[in-house]
Structures are given as C-alpha cells and as structure tokens.
C-alpha cells in the first residue's frame, strides 16, 4: 500500500491577486497523490504584517504548515525571522522558500537556479534570430560574438534582482544594475563584491530613469526584475515605452501575468526576442515542491496548470 502524505503549503506576499502559484502547486500535489493544499496568504509589508507572519511561522514550527513560498515584498525582510539560510540564500541575500529541518526554519532560494535554467532555454531559442550571447568554448561563461563578456542590464534591486545578478555573475556576465534609488543599486553591487562573488568586479550600479537608460546603447540582455507590468498594477514598464531599446538585445521579463507584459510587447514590436518569466515561475515552484516533499516534481503537470491559469490554451 502506498505511503500517505499530507502537505499544507502556501505563499506569502503583497499583493497576491495576480499569483497563479496555488494552481501550479495544487496540481502538483494532486498529481503526486498527496493530500493537503497550497494557499495564498496576503501579508502586508513589514512591520505591518509582523503579527500575521509570526503566526504563520509558528504554524510551521508546530507542523500544521509544511512549507511556505515568499514573494515581493518579503524576500529580504523575512530573513531575520528565520533560524538559518542555505548557502545559496545567504549569498543571494533573499529567500523564496521556507522549509523545516528538525526544529529549525530554514530559508532557501530557488529563484536563482530557476532563472538560470529558463534564461538559457530562452537564449538558445532566440539564438536563431539574435545570436548575440553564446557559451564560450569550455561553457564557463557567456560571451558576445566578438569574444567579449556578454552584458546584461538588470532592472530592479530587490530580492528577485539579487537572484538574477547572482546567476549571471556565476556565468561571467558583465552586469549593470539599474534601480529607482541609486543607493539601492549600489548596495546590491557592493554586497556581491564583499562576498567575493566570481567576477563581481563586472557589476556596476545605475539610476533607473530615462536619462540613464538612454545612455545604455548596447547590451545583450535586459532583465526586468521589478514588479512593474504585473496585471494587478497599472499597465506600466520599467523601460520607457517611447525610448528605443538597445539594438539586438533580448528581453526577459520576470513578470508572468499578464502573459504579454507591456515591456515584452514593446520589445517584440521592435523586432526583438522577448519572453515573460512563466518558465522561471514553474521551475522555482518545482524546486520548492521537491524541497518540501523530497519527491520529483511533476513539471509537465505544473506547466499545464500554469498555462491554464493564464488562459494560454484557450
């Protein structure tokens, strides 16, 4: 007789009305024949949501909850509430998974490996049209066609941006981090430099405004790691939609709902390869599922659930 398991899981963040994580994880639980459910827990930015957060973490310690995902705006501010961090979460400086090990609540980060995997799937797909960033001979880094390090412009300096920068640094990208507050971009860059991340000397801060962006005339990749463009907010873009994008760049928008964000639409209309972060969302969800259950995630089921939730098959 098969062993029976129950998993009560959830997501904390604010706001959450755009999230499709419950659809993805509940489909995975059903496919794996687990009971339980994955619920959304809207949690106001700290310190406003402090009492609710402490209650949820207490439920994890008691065994009522078996795992939590963390999204904007809590990926960094939740760290002091946890007992330990995995090596990846510690280096990234952001958490999107909480799991219990013995009596300890541990923060992990699956955004970084999920982004890395989905980005390179996207780059491989777009290479037929825009072969601007390719692996070098020993696959140790990404380079431009002229052999120089590939350059990425990362928009944002929060927890998602930190995961993106961590992944790109490991692959030898030169990185520009643009944030609405220059101090935030500098803090992110200096944090990786202090940790002596490989090639962290190739990361520079930039103010995220029209004048600064207009000076970026060449890069291989633009990554939106801000929430701008999310369906629950205004139809907005972190890149001014009347400012030409760098010629030949590819665009990866971590926002996945709507299925075509204003930035992705603008890039495609300019003839550039562009994609949202749905693939990253599903992969980080799969890695979280495996962390909590120690069972291989049913990725095909999770992708199908994501597509259904976004009405991509209608």
Question: Which residues are tagged catalytic?
Answer: 75
In terms of DSSP H, where are the helices of the chain? Answer: 21-31, 50-62, 87-92, 111-126, 159-170, 182-194, 210-214, 262-269, 278-293, 299-309
Q: Percent helix, strand and coil across the chain, each rounded to 5?
A: 35, 20, 40
Q: Would you give the end-to-end CA distance of the chain in angstroms?
A: 39
| Cβ-proximal residues to 87 (8 Å cutoff; 6+ apart), any chain | none
Structure-block tokens of residue 88: 């990846």
Alpha-carbon separation of residue 123 from 133, 190, 198 (angstroms): 7, 28, 22
Q: Which of 183, 237, 245 is nearest to 213 (CA)?
A: 245
Alpha-carbon separation of residue 198 from 21, 171, 172, 276 (angstroms): 33, 9, 8, 27
What SS3 class is residue 67? strand
CA of residue 267 relative to chain centroid, distance: 20
């Amino acid at each position: 007789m098969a062993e029976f398991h129950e998993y009560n899981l959830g997501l904390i963040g604010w706001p959450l009305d755009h999230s499709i994580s419950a659809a993805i994880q509940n489909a995975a639980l059903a496919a794996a024949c687990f009971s339980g459910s994955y619920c959304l827990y809207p949690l106001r930015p700290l310190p406003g949501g402090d009492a609710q957060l402490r209650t949820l973490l207490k439920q994890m310690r008691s065994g009522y909850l078996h795992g939590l995902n963390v999204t904007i705006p809590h990926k960094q501010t939740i760290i002091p509430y946890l007992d330990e961090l995995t090596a990846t979460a510690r280096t990234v400086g952001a958490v999107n998974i909480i799991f219990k090990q013995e009596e300890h609540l541990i923060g992990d980060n699956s955004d970084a490996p999920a982004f890395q995997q989905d980005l390179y799937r996207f780059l491989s797909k777009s290479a037929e049209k825009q072969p601007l960033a390719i692996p070098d001979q020993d696959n140790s880094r990404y380079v431009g066609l002229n052999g120089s390090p590939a350059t990425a412009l990362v928009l944002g300096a929060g927890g998602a941006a930190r995961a993106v920068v961590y992944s790109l640094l490991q692959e030898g990208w030169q990185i520009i981090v643009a944030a609405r507050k220059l101090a935030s971009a500098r803090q992110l860059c200096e944090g990786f430099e202090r940790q002596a991340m490989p090639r962290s000397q190739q990361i520079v801060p930039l103010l995220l405004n029209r004048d600064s962006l207009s000076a970026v005339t060449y890069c291989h990749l633009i990554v939106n790691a801000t929430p701008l463009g999310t369906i629950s907010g205004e139809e907005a873009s972190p890149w001014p939609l009347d400012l030409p994008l760098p010629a030949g760049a590819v665009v990866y928008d971590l926002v996945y709902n709507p299925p075509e964000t204003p930035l992705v639409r603008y890039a495609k209309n300019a003839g550039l390869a562009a994609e949202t972060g749905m693939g990253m969302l599903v992969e980080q969800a799969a890695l979280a599922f495996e962390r909590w259950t120690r069972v291989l995630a049913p990725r095909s089921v999770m992708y199908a659930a994501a597509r259904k939730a976004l009405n991509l098959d209608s």
